[in-house]
Structure 1
Amino acid sequence: MSRTTPILQRIGLALWLAFTSPWASAATLERGNGPEPSTLDAHRCQELACGNILRDLYEGLVTEDAGGRLVPGMAERWTVSADGRTWTFRLRPGLRWSNGEALDAPQVVASFRRAFAPATAAPFAELFDALANAREVQAGRMPPERLGVSAPDARTVVFRLTRSAPLPALLTLPIAFPVYLPAVERHGAQHTRPGTLVSNGAYRLAAWTPQANVLLERNPHFHAARAVRIGRVRFHVTEDAAAELQRFAAGDLHITETVPPQPLPALRARFGGQLRISPYVGAFWLGFNLTRPPLRDAPALREALSLAIDRDLLVRHVTGFGERPAYGLVPPLPGYVPARTVWATRTQAERVARARSLYRRAGYSAANPLTIELRYNTSTPHRRLALAVAAMWRDTLGVRVRLRNEEWKVFVGNRRQRAITQVFRGGWIGDVADPRNFLAAFGSDGPLNWTGYDDAGFRERLAKADAARSEAARNAWLRAAEQRLLNAHAVVPLYFYTSKHLVKPQVRGFEANPLDRHASRWMWLEGE
């Protein structure tokens, strides 16, 4: 045994790493993160608040660099068969969990089986519908062992697909992160707590103070630990964007999750280069609950409500950060011509006239106004937008709107259950830069189909896109599916996102990228 081993055991591996890493820093990166994360179970995460943290705690077979480019993660390389349906990933040697135990291919496979097991109820499982037997396993019609993923040896993971799909990009999602199953078996739902959560990424969980912050510390067992320059990261709960801005201005935060709606010239004058605005693959829309009155079987009413909203006014005076009005669900993507509502090119005055006609046709009037509830999660931008939409519906049609503001976890649960929602804050941030990603949820009765949209014609078009033999044909069928969804007025497209953050000058390595993902492992604090 080496004479240094007892020394390392006494001072601790993490401290040893701090002394040996050429860039090691004891500084803490303070990050705003929006609402309280609903979970730190990677397989059950369905929102940005947990996704941001999980990308620091875990690493998938494939990951992304600071600019959003796909790079090797747990896998050092991968290959794909000529037909695009068999992918083979070769793991790095010597991978370890944050507790020091070895991490191998059979554990990766077992984690995937857990992700797709019915009891897990993973909300993003439907994004992997190209994975062989994934739907059958999640529905309980096949055992998890029939899932199309296997480990022929300790360092090889093989995926079998039923059609071509952008698998490497999908493997960057939290559902594809390896979960340490002994902790799940031993602690159940509590495996996500400090002291029990075992991860494999650049950081490990140190503390979690509910409704306050989540603290991470550098993971000495991460395969690239010597290149991780920030010692600790604290993700703060910042549901109120205005309060988050104040904390940034006071020096409490290095990075904000967003920026509250304010006049852009004033923000630029105040913060200069600290204000970072860039294009973002995301769409904001309002959803209709199509499973219950008054919006079920009421396409004319739904169209009237959509027409009455002045999107140009919203992006100029309510959002105000370069967002573009949306008349479809899919944001601009390379090679894809998005669908649009049939009245997208009409003036707002023409839209209002049609809205009033459709409203009367649906049986409503000044004497018999529609009373509707608009539900949104706690957030200054969402509150401002809801107030603006309610005012437009009232002034244009005479609709009486009840605004319902809910804490994130409550809101997500109500939206998913479709029991009490009528109109709700929706939208989609791209998991991958693929138009199908914005449409897939509407093709099943899964947990992401918050509207309850159920249309065989839409599903047929998605299936034809999946079977297409060329990218052009695939995009054409996806556009046809998007157009059918828009013609049903299942949702109200409002605008396409921009990403907006405030970033302190000493933060280095923060790069704009289309999916707005910023893992802490790529950053450092100058002068710390």
Structure 2
Amino acid sequence: MVNPIHPSKALSRRGFLAGTGATALTLALAACGANERSASGTGSATPTKGGTLTILQSATDINWDPAKSQSMAVTSLALVHRRLTTWRIVNGQEAAVVPDLATDTGKVSADGLTWTYVLKDGLVAEDGSAITSAQIKHGIERTFADSLSGGLGYHKALLAGTKGYTGPYQGKHLASVETPDARTIVFHLTKPYGDWPWIASTPAFSPVPAGDNPATYTRKPVASGPYRVAEYKQGVSATLKRNPRWSASTDTIRTALPDTIVVSMGQDESVASQRLIADSGADRNAFGADRVAAAQLAQVTGNPSARSRLATASAGPLLYLAINVERVTDVDVRRAISHAVDKKAVQAALGGSLGAAVASTYITPGVPGRQEYDLYPTSTSKAEQLLKGRKVGKLVLLTANDDASVAIAQAVQQSLQKVGLTVSISPVEDDTWTERATQGNGSAYDLAISAWNPDYPSANANLQPLFASSEIGSGGYNVSRYRNPEVDKLLASAAALSVSEAKSQWAAIDKRIAQDAPVVPLVYRRNSFLHGSGVSNFFVNPFPSYPNYLTLGVTA
């Protein structure tokens, strides 16, 4: 995990399910005193077909190889590569899993161990070849090659018979992925896993024709989506043009409005914001892929034109205080800490209501199954009552060593000092934070500031990585080192159910974990993105808290 707060850091993933990928989202410090803007959607331009959409991003590379990508189902990679399933992201609505290349989100066997998908008719890749189940199988198998590591890998721990498998390039194949005909693909799992339809929306489930060169495919991918990579200038830009083989009749998610999409890389975030604020020339049909920089938020909200083009999520990724239960063993002390933390002070450290919304649950807003509750409203008197007669030694608060992280840690420290607790802040570099929080025996800290955003919209992806006992140490993100056999069973039981069946259980599990107070949910980070006046259908939902690239249009 990279520094969970520092604004200069990009997305990173850490594995759950025994070494696969989940997301720790970096959080940026918002501008102090910025006015609240609660609207999640802007982009009032009339959607039209044609024109050029420009994406301004600070990153200097895009990996177009689905095996190595961690791209969400609504951002850049999904413009080029389709998957078996995908996400339906509609402004103001809860995220949903829907078919993409497949005719449905999968049919599961009675024992929950086998999932079957049938591809839609008439699917054709950029090179003119029919998109087949064999291409999906090859795409999945190549993710096991050492040279193609780095992508999301949930499927690696769920598919049966993968131990020791190193990919298809030496002629070996997975028996747990069957292709009985050109349109049918069957997956055999090690255990029932109701979130499999979400797993099938990750990049690994994109078609890749056999005969690919793993070393060069990232620059010459075969498109299955509405756009192909027409030109790639390393560190400068990527130009996407229409894929003439794509058919809108088979794709209900991507509107494919622009003729051309240009990703302009290596852009200074502040400069990009200034260009979008100015809203002139080609920048009218552009948007920023990075959250608006802290220095620009106040400027944007003070400019009526720019403010009307700022999309801010009502909520987003969870920023939390982990309590090391192996060191803070008294549950009433942990509950006292939960009551004592002034979450509005943390919110203020992030710039107020525009920068963050006060949190009370572990499941993040916008994820199916979440229900609002608050077991520990801020109450100094309640905290003091719980602490009465208890001796608590000095608490070490582990945090990243940057201004934003330290400011949040100080807000927590001051809250706890008000109820008589002594807190020593330990600011460390990113690698040291990761080593102390996710490795070893956890003896280096009592409290830790961290953040989390799931890779797909499932409550399981919120709760399992942070609270399953299997995620303690060895790189796991159960930073509170929380062990509860009852909760482990509840998580496993809900994970085995279908998405719809499990939905009613996640909120109860969330609340059950909270009774033990291993984590204090502090705030949900509110991401803000700026776009030009010519961009249409631009919005940011609580999840994934990023714009939906797949439905954007521009004034031609």
Same fold (TM over 0.5): yes
**Alpha carbons of structure 1 residues 404 and 110: separation in structure 2 relative to 1, 3 Å:** same
**Other-structure match for 2:118:** 89
Amino acid at match of 1:75: A
Q: Is the contact between residue 305 and residue 393 of structure 1 (CA under 8 Å) also seen in structure 2?
A: no
Please name the residue that 2:54 is paired with.
29
Identity within the alignment, %: 16
Match of 1:112 in 2: 140
Q: 8 Å contact 1:116–1:122 — kept in the other structure?
A: no
Letter in 2 for 1:255: F
CA deviations over 1:373-394 (Å, ceiling 9, x no partner): 4127x8xxxx435413324415
Give matches, 1:154-303, under 5 Å: 154-160=182-188, 162-163=191-192, 165-179=194-208, 182-185=211-214, 187=215, 191-192=217-218, 194=219, 196-205=220-229, 206-207=231-232, 209-210=234-235, 214-224=237-247, 227-237=256-266, 244-251=272-279, 254-256=286-288, 257-260=290-293, 262=297, 266-267=301-302, 269=304, 271-279=306-314, 282-287=317-322, 296-299=326-329
Matching residue of 2:162:
137
Q: How many Å apart are 1:525 and its aligned residue?
A: 1.7
Gaps of 5+ in 2: 1-47, 249-254
Please list the CA deviations of residues 334-391 of structure 1 after superposition, one character each: whole Å capped at 9, or x if unmatched: 884648674x1342x2366479879x83422xxxxx5544127x8xxxx435413324
- Aligned pair in 2 of structure 1 residues 502, 482: CA closer, same or farther (>3 Å)? same
**Kindly tell me: are residues 509 and 375 of structure 1, through their superposed partners in 2, closer, same or farther at Cα, counting changes over 3 Å?**
same
Match of 2:407 among 382, 387, 391: 387
Query: How far is the alpha carbon of 1:506 from its aligned partner?
Result: 0.3
Find the aligned partners of 2:456 and 2:465 in 1 and give their Cα distance: 12
Q: Residues 329, 191 of structure 1: CA spacing in aligned structure 2 closer, same or farther, 3 A cutoff?
A: same
Q: Is the 8 A contact 1:341 1:487 kept in 2?
A: no
In the alignment, the residues of structure 2 paired with residue 336 and residue 214 of structure 1 have an alpha-carbon distance, to the nearest angstrom, of 39
Normalising by structure 2, what TM-score? 0.67
Q: Determine the C-alpha separation between the residues in 2 that align with 1:416 and 1:56.
A: 36
Unaligned runs of 5+ in 1: 1-21, 365-369
Match of 2:463 in 1: 439
| 1:127–1:437 contact (8 Å) kept in structure 2 | no
Alignment partners' CA distance in 2, 1:438 and 1:314? 21
Q: 1:118 to 1:234 in 2, by over 3 A?
A: closer
Matched residues in 2 for 1:512 and 1:308: separation? 32
CA–CA separation in structure 1 for the residues paired with 2:450 and 2:499: 35
- Could you tell me how far apart the structure 2 residues matched to 1:428 and 1:234 are? 24
The answer for the alignment partner of 1:350 in structure 2 is: 381
Which of 439, 442, 466 aligns to 1:418? It is 439
CA distance in 2, matches of 1:375, 1:508: 38
CA deviation vs aligned residue, 1:84-122 (integer Å, no higher than 9, x gap): 75432224435214x555542112012223336788666
- Structure 2 distance, partners of 1:53, 1:102, is 23
Partner of 2:362: 329
Mapped contact 2:370–2:506 kept (Cα < 8 A): no
Task: Report if the CA contact (8 A) 2:396-2:426 is conserved.
Answer: yes
Matched residues in 2 for 1:93 and 1:412: separation? 50
SS in 1 for 2:232: strand
Aligned: 1:58 with 2:81:
yes
Q: 1 CA distance for matches of 2:62 and 2:320?
A: 22
Question: Greater share of helix residues, 1 or 2?
Answer: 1
Task: Give the partner amino acid of 1:273.
Answer: S
TM-score by length of 1: 0.70
Instruction: Pick one of 460, 476, 480 that aligns with 2:489.
Output: 460
Alpha-carbon distance in structure 1 between the residues aligned to 2:264 and 2:67: 20
8 A contact 2:311–2:529 mirrored in 1: yes
Which letter does structure 2 place at the counterpart of 1:350? S
| One-letter identity of the residue aligned with 2:77 | L
Structure number with greater CO (CA < 8 Å, separation at least 6) is 2
Which of 138, 141, 153 matches 2:181? 153
Distance of aligned partners of 1:76 and 1:462 in 2 relative to their CA distance in 1, 3 Å threshold:
closer
Match of 2:344 in 1: 312
User: Number of residues paired by the alignment?
Assistant: 468
Give the aligned residue type for 1:431.
Y
* Alpha-carbon shift at residue 461 of structure 1 (Å): 1.3
Question: How far has the Cα of 1:31 moved from its partner?
Answer: 3.2
After superposing the two structures, state which structure 1 stretch, 414-423 or 270-279, moved more: 414-423
TM-aligned CA distance change 1:204 to 1:174, over 3 Å? same
Q: Does 1:428 align with 2:453?
A: yes
